[in-house]
Structure 1
Amino acid sequence: MLFAHDTECALVTATALVNTADPDREGLPDVAALDAFLTAHSFTGRHEHTEAELRSVRALRPRLRRVWAADEDGIVEIVNGLLRESRALPQLIRHDDQPYHVHAVPRDAPLATRMAVEAAMALADLVRMGELSRLRTCDHPDCDNVLVDLSKNRSRRFCEAGCGNRAAVSAYRARRAAGRS
């Protein structure tokens, strides 16, 4: 593990949330999809299961996406804005059989607020550690997804949408076609 467990979880969740905003296909089309997203990312705490909550989570995505295009000062501005607006007050807590970790808003705060603050706290760790190069966009030419490279050797190039497999298949087919010529 390169970062604290809660930092890694928050980075992965923020990345996945940003990638649900596909212009061709809404990744969070309804409350049930949001429920599944939260379950997949082990996101705990208050969840109202309402359309209003879904809209507020969707509204967070473009703001988080800007992180992947911003320089360090821009990321700091986004992070500080999220923390300030949420009135974040970091505290160590333990719940759900997890060891002590940092929460900066109460577990009963609105879902979008908790998601924003957890992402902001994790991004703050990346800034402090000089690790912003771990935030990337997918190398596949047909993909606009973002990723966070948590590998030790900083070698991850493709998102979670199968782009690595598509790139490998394309390279294989190109090699085979070149071999036949």
Structure 2
Amino acid sequence: MLFTHDTNCALITATALVNTAGPNHEGLPDAAALAAFLATHAFTGRHERTQAELRSVRALRPRLRQIWDADTDEVVSIVNGLLRKHRALPQLITHDDEPYHLHAVPRDAPLATRMAVEAAMATADLVRAGELRRLRRCDHPDCDNVFVDLSKNRSRRFCDTGCGNRVAVTAYRARRSARP
């Protein structure tokens, strides 16, 4: 494991959240989709299942996406801004049979606040470790997804196996058609 469990989970969740917004799709169309997203990513704590909560989570996505395109100083500015805005106060906590980990806002804080602060704290760990290059964009030319490369050798190039498979199939077909 490269980072602590809570950092890995927060990075994966933030990445998945960013990828729910695309130019041609809305991955969080309603409160039920948000509830399913939270269940998939084992995101605990207060969840109101309201349209206002859904709007606040959707509003967070563009700010988090900026992290993937920013240089270190810009990332630090984004992270510090999120932590200041939400009045983060890191504390060790254990819950739901999880080992001690950091929470920087109470578990009953609004969902978007908790998501923003957890993403900021995890990104802060990447900055401190000099590992921001692990935040990448998919190499598939038709994909605008982002991902976090948690592999040991930093070799991941695609957001999922689907994009990697499409690139491999395209290359295979090009090689086949080039044969006499």
Question: Which band: TM-score by shorter chain?
Answer: over 0.9
Question: What pairs with 1:48-59 in structure 2 (closer than 5 Å)?
Answer: 48-59=48-59
CA distance in 2, matches of 1:29, 1:112: 16
1:128 is matched with which residue? 128
1:97 is matched with which residue? 97
SS of the residue 1:120 aligns to: helix
2:78 is matched with which residue? 78
2:115 is matched with which residue? 115
SS of the residue 1:114 aligns to: helix
CA distance in 1, matches of 2:105, 2:142: 38
User: How far apart are 1:161 and its partner, in Å?
Assistant: 7.0
CA distance in 2, matches of 1:161, 1:52: 34
AA matched with 1:155: S
Aligned pair count reads 180
CA distance in 1, matches of 2:102, 2:59: 24
TM-score of the aligned structures, taking structure 1 as reference length? 0.97
User: How far apart are 1:91 and its partner, in Å?
Assistant: 0.4
SS of the residue 1:92 aligns to: strand
CA distance in 1, matches of 2:44, 2:91: 16
Is there any run of 5+ residues in structure 1 with no aligned partner, and where? none
SS of the residue 1:162 aligns to: helix
Matched, 1:176 2:168: no
AA matched with 2:14: A
CA distance in 1, matches of 2:21, 2:75: 20
SS of the residue 1:157 aligns to: coil
1:26 is matched with which residue? 26
CA distance in 2, matches of 1:99, 1:107: 16
AA matched with 1:85: K
AA matched with 2:162: G
Aligned residues with identical type, % of pairs: 79
User: How far apart are 1:160 and its partner, in Å?
Assistant: 2.7
User: How far apart are 1:165 and its partner, in Å?
Assistant: 1.4
Is there any run of 5+ residues in structure 2 with no aligned partner, and where? none
SS of the residue 2:25 aligns to: coil
- Encode CA deviations 1:115-169: one digit per residue, 9 max, x unaligned: 0000000000000000001011110011111111000000000013721111111
CA distance in 2, matches of 1:47, 1:175: 51
TM-score of the aligned structures, taking structure 2 as reference length? 0.98
